[in-house]
Every structure is written in structure tokens, then in C-alpha cells.
Amino acid sequence: MKFTLIVSLLLLTSVLTVLGQDKQSRKSKGHSSAVSEKGLIKVSVMYPFSEGKTFNMAYYESKHMPMVAAWLGDNLVKYTIEKGVASGIPNQPLPYMAIGIFYIKNLEEYQKAIAPNRDAIRADFPNYTDVAPVILVSEVVR
């Protein structure tokens, strides 16, 4: 009787441990891209397509975006990068070659973090593109 009780308690403990780790792993996902966006501020840096203009995605992904992201600290919830494929309207040109998006909690904090680094950001542009981006600040409502 005692032995069965011990075995069953051990079993129960191991199951609860697995359950706990499972919850933990979901919690730590908060900093990956698997977070709800509602209520966040988006800063979308959009690089317009135009014939003959270039964009180096490898550099943008490995150097430029991580550099800017590092300046944003805890205010940055996540960032995403997308590659323009086509216009969604037949026979229309591709609107943007690439978009980098910072999902942040607070716009003022973002501006404070970016201001002293604006020149460094601009100086990095020629390393990956020859177009000037359009930048949209928006609020995720759903």
C-alpha cells in the first residue's frame, strides 16, 4: 500500500512538472512573434518598389533591423520583416519591396530611443537599399 502510494505520487509529480514546464515555455514565448498585437503601436518602415531600385534582404535582416531593435529595449514587443511579392490588384505594380515593422508599447519612448540614433540609421541605408522608406505609425485595433 505504501509502495503504490509512493509510485502514484511520483507519477503525479512528474505529470505536474511536465504541465508546469509547458506553461513556462508558453510564457517565455512573450518575446517571440507569437503575441497578440491588439493595443500595440506599429511603426511600419515601408520601402517602395520602383524599377531598377534594389533591396538587400540578407543585410536588412541580419544587420539593420537587429541594430535598431537593440536600441528599443523593453518597449519593443516584437519586430517582423516581410518581402513584397506582388500587388493584390491585377496589372498594378508591386507597392513595396520590403517592410520592417516594430511593435511597441509606447510611441514617446520609441521616439526618445530613436532620436539620438537617427543619423546612424540613415547612414546604414546605402548598405542595403537606394530608396527612401515611407514610415507609418499606427495603432492595432484588432
Q: Which of 57, 59, 63, 71 binds a copy of itself (CB under 8 A)?
A: 57
61 counts as binding a copy of itself under rule CB under 8 A: yes
Count of residues that bind a copy of itself according to CB under 8 A: 56
141 counts as binding a copy of itself under rule CB under 8 A: yes
Residue 99 pairs in a beta bridge with 46, 82
65 counts as binding a copy of itself under rule CB under 8 A: yes
For a copy of itself, give the closer residue by CB, 26 or 130. Answer: 26
Q: Which of 52, 85, 91, 126 binds a copy of itself (CB under 8 A)?
A: 85
The CA angle 26-31-33, to the nearest 5 degrees, is 90
* Distance, CA of 128 to CA of 66 (rounded, Å): 14
* Distance, CA of 81 to CA of 62 (rounded, Å): 11
